[in-house]
Structure 1
């Protein structure tokens, strides 16, 4: 990871516009869990790319190399298309929608493929009680987190207050046939907390239709499993929020998905305080007091999407409210690591995880 000092010894920023050596190391570490012990007779194909602003890994087991390469290339091409379509600030379908929202109540024809995505994101936002809120793109931009190389900044508190009071919500978006508009000009969509999971579900569905019996897809720590690797479950690592490598590992069964939200991926520090990219819609400020939240989602048609979305409300809710927030999203297996490094986890998650580090402080909840 590349750290740069900007203007003050008190001001530190993490910039990750491209895969850094540490990012590659962590990704490789996860895949070592996944591939270790594969039966020699089971061919395993692995391909990496950089999409959605993060490292992406596609691992396919049990297919001949040429076919696995073809399948993997199709998955990565679909990811690239989704990335361009759902990008919040670069030219694309979503950024064009955001331009229309700013001119509300103007009505414009919608790109059909976006309708079910936005409707699903709205449903999940309502499930979370608004803690997952893709409509707060203006707040994310205000904090400088919309950019491959962001400029850290301390926004004017008056601007933050004004955006919070404007209360942009997903339910402000209205579809009328082929037209759309927003009832609230403060709405600006940022699907960064949804798109990776949605992509996992599409990829898993595609690979299953192609008869693939074993695959593991990892988009920046959001991972979904298909089948097994030569009859053995896939084994994956959960990234340590403060160290290289994994804090724990687990077997990921067919159809299960796991996702982590952390304060270590995109953040800056000012006067010794860390400000991450996960914004609390209630306050307009980056969520505090949590290093990481991991959720394990059971097999289902939206497991990948939930693995991406469900960790955000729990992260924002913090130590006092994370369990309720995770349950509301259907995540019975969940873990939170607080700012001191203490581990809070559900009984269901505790049964699945094998921790790599000794001396951790644990708090188990039902």
Structure 2
């Protein structure tokens, strides 16, 4: 329960990590809330400059530039993030792979693509993908990509990691409630000033202006991965931005996967992996993570959920 003084809610939106962050904090007064929002934004910016592969001065960009040449000394924080990513790759047999970033040279979802990549170009891009060729040395605190042309990116973990990190930081500083939402990767704690739970809307992938459901969230994370926002269309077929790192082609079968659980970073990785695996294999994979549950929407609009999802808590929209 929030203390009687913690009654002020403040919210701010900013653009970081290539997307939108909505930061909501509950504090004893407006000044305290705004000051801590400043701290959250500074922390997200710090993480962005550490892990973003599109910032030339970041450690990840340096690792990519040295692919096939030499190991690169990196911060322990980045090393541990890479270790967690590789563990998810091992568990998913490569359905999740941070070295998929090499494919961004042939698949572009920013409006610049005018034709399908050729099968040969896709085949060549897959040759640069492979988590087994990402070498980590704890002893030297280095990352090394064995093959020239390899490239890693933390787009499927970074925003979730930043949201979790900021939640922990705010809790350590006595902020009793809030939500850090990084482009749909939400990490929440505590309650609203009136004592009610945070209510999180789950978007309908077929209609961006409509909600599928509203669900209460006290402590934990909600993350949605979907093929409905970034895609290209060729010859009447839609190709989504979530790429299967094994085949080099966009994942098909599911329009969105929403994962609930303790960590936004982990939920982010799981939802992306499940988009690649598809409904049946995705549910089997998620069963290895009992603290996490999911709601899936298939391309045909049908919905499926994991057996451990508490549907009774959902307010389903007509």
TM-score calculated relative to the size of structure 2 = 0.90
1:333 to 293, 296, 306: 293
Match of 1:140 in 2: 104
Match of 2:269 in 1: 309
Check conservation: 2:6, 2:29, Cα contact below 8 A. Answer: no
Distance of 1:68 and 1:199 partners within structure 2: 19
| Deviation, structure 1 residue 339 | 0.7
| Deviation, structure 1 residue 329 | 4.5
Query: C-alpha deviations, 1:260-281, integer Å up to 9, x for none?
Result: 0011222111122111110001
| Deviation, structure 1 residue 314 | 1.0
Check conservation: 1:306, 1:329, Cα contact below 8 A. Answer: no
Q: Which runs of 5+ in 2 are unaligned?
A: none
Secondary structure in structure 2 of the residue aligned to 1:223: strand
Q: After the TM superposition, which residues 161-240 of structure 1 pair with which residues of structure 2 at under 5 Å, given as runs?
A: 161-169=123-131, 172-175=134-137, 177-230=140-193, 231-240=195-204
2:210 to 241, 245, 258: 245
| Deviation, structure 1 residue 332 | 4.0
Check conservation: 2:128, 2:149, Cα contact below 8 A. Answer: yes
Q: Name which of structure 1's ranges 191-200 and 244-253 shifts more when overlaid on structure 2.
A: 244-253
CA RMSD of aligned residues (A): 2.2
State yes or no: 1:273 paired with 2:237.
yes
Match of 1:356 in 2: 317
The total of aligned residue pairs comes to 309
| Deviation, structure 1 residue 40 | 12
Match of 1:14 in 2: none
Closer/same/farther in 2, CA of residues 248 and 184 from structure 1, 3 Å limit: same
Closer/same/farther in 2, CA of residues 338 and 105 from structure 1, 3 Å limit: same
Query: C-alpha deviations, 1:7-46, integer Å up to 9, x for none?
Result: xxxxxxxxxxxxxxxxxxxxxxxxxxxxxxxx99822111
Q: Name which of structure 1's ranges 326-335 and 337-346 shifts more when overlaid on structure 2.
A: 326-335
Closer/same/farther in 2, CA of residues 216 and 326 from structure 1, 3 Å limit: same
Query: C-alpha deviations, 1:209-261, integer Å up to 9, x for none?
Result: 1111111111111111111113221111011112113111100022x101000
Closer/same/farther in 2, CA of residues 78 and 282 from structure 1, 3 Å limit: same
Closer/same/farther in 2, CA of residues 181 and 348 from structure 1, 3 Å limit: closer
Q: After the TM superposition, which residues 46-125 of structure 1 pair with which residues of structure 2 at under 5 Å, given as runs?
A: 46-91=11-56, 92-101=58-67, 104-125=68-89
Distance of 2:233 and 2:289 partners within structure 1: 30
Query: C-alpha deviations, 1:327-366, integer Å up to 9, x for none?
Result: 2344641111011111111233223322112xxxxxxxxx
Distance of 1:105 and 1:113 partners within structure 2: 23
Match of 1:128 in 2: 92
Q: Which runs of 5+ in 1 are unaligned?
A: 1-38, 358-366
| Deviation, structure 1 residue 70 | 0.5
TM-score calculated relative to the size of structure 1 = 0.79
Q: Name which of structure 1's ranges 184-193 and 205-214 shifts more when overlaid on structure 2.
A: 184-193
Query: C-alpha deviations, 1:56-98, integer Å up to 9, x for none?
Result: 1111124310010010111011112222322223312211110
1:285 to 216, 224, 249: 249
